[in-house]
Structure 1
Amino acid sequence: MHATALKNARRFFDVYVTPRVQAGERLRVVEIGARNVNGSLRDVAPQGLDYVGVDLEAAPGVDVVLDDPYVLPFEDGSVDAVLSSSCFEHSEFFWQSFLEIQRVLKPTGLFYLNAPSGGEFHRYPVDCWRFYPDSGMALARWARSRGYATVLLESYTGEQEDDIWADQVAVFLRDEAQVAAYPRRVVDSFSRFRNGLRHPQLDQLLNPQRWNQDQERAWLWRATLRLRRRLWRLWSA
């Protein structure tokens, strides 16, 4: 688990989950891809949750082993929040997972998604996808086309810190009619991101940037190389 994954999950918990816990609610939270690898989202979750970690194999942090990666063993409308971090890029059919998540969420239920927008190729056991700023909007539209009332509350591409990962974070609400229950957003108090979206102004990018950080570094490296060549030609003329 890379450092920014834990930081972004903590921001989600602080804004969307902790206030409800402090108000006395007992929330059921399901983490998909819960195997503890150098840290777990459970480590940054507030105390007092009914926390269930699911994965494809038995491992530390896993409470339930899935027989089918696209079937969650929970009843319709029974879960308050589903979390998935660094997992959807390894799902061959992540859109099926997204619909299954909508099925198990309560009307006030939230889905927290963190998937890379860049980074190295890393099979586990496959590595299929990267997510860009419009991914959250597309997933919400996909769910609505299948009969759900899903809405994107916010999304952003986090800045890289001490590693190669730039996290694409999205928070979804199962039923748009419940949006008043969540007046706050992570992007209201966090600014180290690019190309953010915030409900209800989902047509307005926050901190818009055309290039990601890897592209900026590549451009700078090429520009520096061109300058060095010009200087060498002038010096050797």
Structure 2
Amino acid sequence: MHPSAFENGRLFFDTYLSPQAAPTVLDIGAQDVNGSLRALAPAASHYIGVDFAPGRGVDVVLDDPYHLPFADGSIDAVVSSSCFEHIELFWLSFNEVLRVLKPDGLFYLNAPSNGDFHRYPVDCWRFYPDAGGALVRWGVRSGHRPALLESFTAYQRLDVWSDFVAVFVKDEACVASHPARMLDRVGRFMNGRRYGVEGILCPQDHTEEGARLRRLTGHPQGLG
């Protein structure tokens, strides 16, 4: 796990889950590779790590990547960091997340918005500022009532990755149960969205690499 992913995961838990809470947390893509979100969850959490292959931090190996072996409405929070880019049909996984969450349950998604091709075992997607809204529309089309509480693209730290971060609640009727936002604590960010606020906050057309190339080359697209 690269440094910004770890820091954004910490910020999610600090913002949305009380240290005294004892939630059931499901981690999709839980294998501990240079760190794990498990270390950041409230100490009393019932933490379940699932992945598509066995490894450190994995409690359940999935036979079907599009079926989570848990009951409807049984999970308080689902988290996934640096995984959804490797899921070929990630929109089906999103529906499974919504199925297992409680009505006021949260889904924290961290996925790259840039970066090198890295297969595990495949590398299919990058996530941009409109991704959160598109997932909400897919969830509604599939019979759910999710809401995007917030999303943003984080600036890089000690690595080349720019993280797309999004937090969803399963049922829009439960938005008021989660008044705090990472956006109020993250500091610098690009292309933020906040529930109830129109438009994009801190808009930026280019990734950090693109902006650097534009400055170096003087070309509007960053190409010499």
TM-score tier after normalising by the smaller chain length? over 0.9
Runs ≥4 in structure 1, deviation > 3 angstroms? none
AA in 2 matched with 1:132: Y
CA-CA distance at 1:210 after TM superposition: 1.6
CA-CA distance at 1:223 after TM superposition: 2.6
Counterpart in the other structure of 1:7:
7
CA-CA distance at 1:194 after TM superposition: 0.2
Root-mean-square deviation (CA, aligned residues, Å) is 1.3
Q: Do residues 105 (structure 1) and 109 (structure 2) align?
A: no
- State, as a whole percentage, how many aligned pairs show the same letter: 56
Q: Do residues 33 (structure 1) and 29 (structure 2) align?
A: yes
Counterpart in the other structure of 1:182:
178
Separation in 1, partners of 2:157, 2:53: 30
Counterpart in the other structure of 2:222:
none
Q: Contact 2:22 / 2:42 at 8 angstroms: preserved in 1? A: no
AA in 2 matched with 1:193: F
Bigger Rg, structure 1 or 2: 1
Q: Deviations over 1:24-53 (max 9, x none)?
A: x43100000000001001112221000000
Separation in 2, partners of 1:26, 1:74: 18
Q: Deviations over 1:136-185 (max 9, x none)?
A: 01001110111101000000000012111000000000001011111110
Separation in 2, partners of 1:204, 1:58: 42
Q: Do residues 219 (structure 1) and 211 (structure 2) align?
A: no
5 Å-filtered alignment, 1:11-160, equals: 11-18=11-18, 21-22=19-20, 25-160=21-156
Separation in 1, partners of 2:33, 2:172: 34
Which 5+ residue runs of structure 1 have no aligned equivalent? 225-237
**Higher helix content, 1 or 2:** 1
Separation in 2, partners of 1:99, 1:87: 16
Separation in 1, partners of 2:203, 2:111: 19
Which 5+ residue runs of structure 2 have no aligned equivalent? 220-224
Number of residue pairs matched by the alignment: 220
